[in-house]
């Protein structure tokens, strides 16, 4: 079926459309109710269906005779290790790990935090939870203890699964001290921590609380798949909001499994036996959807890569992995290609490898800037799909659908809405605008399967943050426009979230941390353009009266505070002292103008500004410090 027909059908007759798509997966009990409302009045899919997501990702394929096919390929240039799992081997490993969790008292509905580096055991842990109906919450390994503690308190895990260390290029990151510090900070205490001992750096276990992963799994009996309701949560994944407290995005089992299966074929054109590589981390939504669940549900082999696009060992790493495993679809953030381009501008390293199996390159996570698109296009000469989505939706809201009929590409556009997503551009009063007019990108309800139904433990926040602004719509937080051919152009966030190297971060959270410094009276953290990472945070700081502190010392202390509190991944490296911050007469900091100034973009002085002269002052300070590009 062509795109138009498919899209029309999904919007005009969503129930019939998704009923048909639901037959892609093997339910334990097929749903009769396709779309209904839950107790919160939220649209839900397949309410009376029963299934098990790990069964769909593993056992089902073994039963279909694909037990000897590769399921997971682990490639770790940072340790020099490679390991593969067939579907049978991965099923066996997951069943044992699930049995180990059961022996530790974990059951259906219990939460398990997974704080792991990119080793196959991270996927095994996720799938083991899914197998017994437990809810996993994976926390990105680059987060500092404080971030982990916030998630421990919000998710109340019975068990935490972790490892002795991670490896950043050539640097060992000891996980155990981070875990211990986080548990100390948190009010909630897990009953058990299961620690995977890596040979690169073992750790001491805490008596009475920690157990050795390998020993516990060896002693466990395999556990069977527990049937769960389509509406039961599969996982909670925290993502940055505009405040210091991250939001626990909830994913249910039924809608998610259908969306993963559907998107794998329609968006990515991947089929059983194909090799798919999402070069991300299981700590992010890309890792959940397209390293673990979707490729396995689709019967593909997924590449699990513990390394970077550069420096492990060089900028040919992506091409080496694609050639070695016959990758058909490569998915990464644009920042990864910018890093490769920086080190290998002529892309000479790609010529060393046989890329004949590589069909398509997919990019998401941040805006795909035209120079990066052009560079990949020129040197790799494969279709490039820029697709746009977010943690909340779990799969692409818009893209170029390789499994339907790929459309012509328009520079700067993420192409067309995915079937199921009724994308509308709204004006500030919530009215749809005309083609080519900018506004807030919203999705008319119902959201398709796979999207979040709530925020973990805080349904009011879900309603207030996403559904409350415009009745009948979910707001994405991004602004943009649809052109007259329904091509979507995403222009950036309308809130204070920034995107650093494809990682979503809250400037509000950074402001809280910076403002906590004893010398700081007030501050604003904004996103400044970065050639490598897309955006990088910049702090503008107002000192308390009478404080005498050297600016360089203050900057170092602020950088350290953010590193200690969020983690190195925040990439907070710059802070400057200003005399005044631009504010409205009612005292609200005008962050958008600050962003415009820092990025040397044109702006209109807001009519509500209290003290327009401060804008020129800030412009001069940033210029002097080399923090603002010159005209």
Contacts with ligand AMP, residue ranges (CB under 6 A): 239, 285, 364-368, 386-391, 414, 476-478, 490, 493, 499, 504
Closer to ligand COA by Cβ: residue 442 or 558 = 558
CA distances (Å), origin 459, targets 42, 47, 193, 391, 452: 10, 19, 29, 17, 11
Cβ 553 to ligand COA shortest distance, Å: 19
| Distance separating alpha carbons of residues 302 and 600, to the nearest angstrom | 42
* Residues 44, 255 contacting (CB under 8 angstroms): yes
User: Residue 464: phi, psi to the nearest 5?
Assistant: -65, -40
Tokens standing for 310? 């550069």
Q: Out of ligand COA, ligand AMP, none, which partner does residue 269 contact, by CB within 5 to 8 A per kind?
A: none
Q: Out of ligand AMP, ligand COA, none, which partner does residue 104 contact, by CB within 5 to 8 A per kind?
A: none
| Distance separating alpha carbons of residues 36 and 50, to the nearest angstrom | 15
Cβ 526 to ligand COA shortest distance, Å: 18
Q: Out of ligand COA, ligand AMP, none, which partner does residue 501 contact, by CB within 5 to 8 A per kind?
A: ligand COA
Under the rule (CB under 6 A), what is the footprint of ligand COA? 141-142, 166, 168, 173, 280, 284, 286, 308-310, 333, 335-336, 339, 365, 501-503, 533, 568-569, 571
Q: Which of 257, 267, 264 is nearest to 418 (CA)?
A: 267
Cβ 477 to ligand AMP shortest distance, Å: 6
Cβ 424 to ligand AMP shortest distance, Å: 16
Closer to ligand COA by Cβ: residue 141 or 453 = 141
CA distances (Å), origin 58, targets 90, 203, 220: 7, 32, 19
131 alpha-carbon distance from chain centroid: 23
Q: Out of ligand AMP, ligand COA, none, which partner does residue 232 contact, by CB within 5 to 8 A per kind?
A: none
Q: Out of ligand COA, ligand AMP, none, which partner does residue 517 contact, by CB within 5 to 8 A per kind?
A: none
* Residues 282, 138 contacting (CB under 8 angstroms): yes
Q: Out of ligand AMP, ligand COA, none, which partner does residue 504 contact, by CB within 5 to 8 A per kind?
A: ligand AMP
Q: Out of ligand AMP, ligand COA, none, which partner does residue 478 contact, by CB within 5 to 8 A per kind?
A: ligand AMP
41-57 core/surface letters (b: 16 or more CB in 10 A; e: else): ebbbbbbebbbbbbbbb
Closer to ligand COA by Cβ: residue 67 or 141 = 141
Cβ 206 to ligand AMP shortest distance, Å: 33
Q: Which of 136, 139, 146, 142 is nearest to 245 (CA)?
A: 146
- Give the orientation angle of helix 14-22 with respect to helix 3-12, to 10 degrees: 110
Tokens standing for 67? 């037990």
Q: Out of ligand AMP, ligand COA, none, which partner does residue 239 contact, by CB within 5 to 8 A per kind?
A: ligand AMP
* Residues 598, 573 contacting (CB under 8 angstroms): no
Cβ 530 to ligand AMP shortest distance, Å: 15
Cβ 567 to ligand COA shortest distance, Å: 7
Cβ 447 to ligand COA shortest distance, Å: 21
* Residues 361, 385 contacting (CB under 8 angstroms): yes
- The per-type count for the chain, helices as H runs and strands as E runs, is 20, 31
Q: Out of ligand AMP, ligand COA, none, which partner does residue 569 contact, by CB within 5 to 8 A per kind?
A: ligand COA
Cβ 141 to ligand COA shortest distance, Å: 4
Cβ 288 to ligand AMP shortest distance, Å: 10
Closer to ligand AMP by Cβ: residue 121 or 478 = 478
Q: Out of ligand COA, ligand AMP, none, which partner does residue 285 contact, by CB within 5 to 8 A per kind?
A: ligand AMP
How many residues appear in the chain? 631
Angle of CA points 420, 400, 351, to nearest 5°: 145
Closer to ligand AMP by Cβ: residue 14 or 477 = 477
Closer to ligand COA by Cβ: residue 192 or 341 = 341
Closer to ligand COA by Cβ: residue 45 or 318 = 318
Tokens standing for 353? 């490898």
Cβ 568 to ligand COA shortest distance, Å: 3
Closer to ligand AMP by Cβ: residue 131 or 387 = 387
Closer to ligand AMP by Cβ: residue 246 or 365 = 365
| Distance separating alpha carbons of residues 385 and 308, to the nearest angstrom | 21
Q: Out of ligand AMP, ligand COA, none, which partner does residue 367 contact, by CB within 5 to 8 A per kind?
A: ligand AMP
Omega prior to 440 cis, within 30 of 0: no
Cβ 143 to ligand AMP shortest distance, Å: 14
Closer to ligand COA by Cβ: residue 283 or 582 = 283
Closer to ligand AMP by Cβ: residue 104 or 239 = 239
Q: Out of ligand COA, ligand AMP, none, which partner does residue 308 contact, by CB within 5 to 8 A per kind?
A: ligand COA
Closer to ligand COA by Cβ: residue 122 or 228 = 122
Residues 6+ positions from 88 with CB-CB distance below 8 Å? 62, 67, 68
Residue-by-residue DSSP string for 461-495: HHIIIIISSSTTEEEEEEEEEE-TT--EEEEEESS
Decide: helix, strand or coil at residue 456: coil
User: Is the dihedral angle over the CA atoms 307, 533, 376, 262 positive or is it negative?
Assistant: positive
């Amino acid at each position: 079926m062509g795109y138009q027909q498919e899209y029309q059908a999904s919007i005009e007759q969503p129930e019939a459309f998704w009923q048909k798509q639901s037959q892609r997966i093997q339910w334990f009990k097929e749903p009769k109710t396709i779309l209904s409302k839950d107790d919160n009045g939220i649209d839900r899919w397949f309410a009376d269906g029963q299934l098990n997501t790990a069964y769909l990702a593993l056992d089902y394929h073994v039963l279909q005779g694909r037990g000897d096919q590769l399921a997971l390929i682990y490639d770790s240039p940072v340790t020099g290790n490679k390991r593969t799992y067939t579907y049978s081997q991965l099923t066996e490993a997951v069943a044992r790990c699930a049995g180990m969790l059961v022996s530790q008292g974990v059951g259906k509905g219990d939460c398990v935090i997974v704080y792991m580096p990119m080793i196959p055991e991270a996927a095994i842990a996720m799938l083991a939870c899914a197998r017994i109906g437990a809810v996993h919450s994976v926390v990105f390994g680059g987060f500092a203890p404080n971030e982990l503690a916030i998630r421990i308190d919000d998710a109340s895990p019975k068990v935490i699964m972790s490892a002795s260390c991670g490896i950043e290029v050539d640097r060992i990151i000891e996980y155990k001290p981070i875990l211990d510090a986080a548990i100390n900070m948190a009010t909630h205490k897990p009953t058990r921590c299961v620690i995977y001992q890596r040979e690169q750096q073992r750790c001491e276990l805490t008596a009475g609380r920690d157990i050795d992963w390998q020993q516990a799994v060896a002693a466990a009996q395999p556990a069977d798949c527990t049937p769960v309701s389509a509406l039961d949560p599969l996982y909670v994944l925290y993502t940055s909001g505009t405040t210091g407290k991250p939001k626990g995005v909830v994913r249910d089992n039924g809608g998610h499994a259908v969306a993963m299966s559907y998107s794998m074929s329609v968006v990515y054109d991947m089929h059983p036996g194909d090799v798919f590589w999402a070069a991300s981390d299981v700590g992010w939504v890309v890792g959940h959807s397209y390293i673990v669940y979707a490729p396995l549900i689709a019967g593909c082999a997924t590449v699990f890569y513990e390394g970077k696009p550069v420096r492990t060992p060089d900028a040919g790493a992506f091409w080496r992995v694609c050639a070695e495993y016959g990758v058909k679809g490569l998915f990464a953030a644009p920042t990864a290609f910018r890093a490769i381009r920086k080190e290998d501008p002529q892309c000479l390293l790609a010529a060393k490898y046989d890329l004949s199996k590589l069909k398509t390159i997919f990019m998401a996570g941040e805006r795909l800037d035209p120079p990066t698109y052009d560079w990949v296009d020129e040197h790799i000469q494969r279709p490039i799909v820029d697709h746009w989505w977010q943690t909340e939706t779990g799969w692409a809201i818009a893209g170029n659908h390789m499994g339907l009929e790929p459309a012509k590409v328009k520079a700067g556009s993420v192409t067309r809405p995915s079937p199921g997503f009724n994308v509308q551009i709204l004006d500030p009063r919530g009215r749809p605008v005309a083609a080519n007019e900018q506004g807030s990108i919203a999705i008319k309800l119902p959201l398709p399967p796979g999207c979040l139904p709530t925020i973990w433990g805080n349904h009011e926040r879900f309603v207030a943050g996403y559904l409350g602004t415009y009745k009948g719509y979910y707001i994405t937080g991004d602004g943009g426009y649809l052109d007259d051919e329904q091509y979507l152009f995403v222009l950036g966030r309308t809130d204070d979230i920034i995107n650093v190297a494809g990682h979503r971060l809250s400037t509000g959270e950074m402001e809280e941390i910076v403002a906590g410094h004893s010398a700081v009276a007030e501050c604003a953290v904004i996103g400044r353009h970065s050639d490598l990472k897309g955006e990088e945070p910049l702090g503008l700081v107002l000192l308390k009266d009478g404080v005498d502190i050297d600016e360089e010392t203050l900057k170092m202390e602020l950088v350290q505070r953010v590193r200690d509190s969020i983690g190195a991944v925040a990439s907070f490296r710059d802070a400057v002292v200003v005399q005044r911050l631009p504010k409205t007469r009612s005292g609200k900091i005008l962050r958008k103008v600050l962003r415009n100034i820092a990025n040397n973009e044109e702006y209109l002085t807001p009519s509500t500004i209290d003290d327009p002269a401060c804008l020129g002052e800030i412009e001069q300070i940033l210029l002097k410090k080399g923090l603002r590009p010159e005209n």
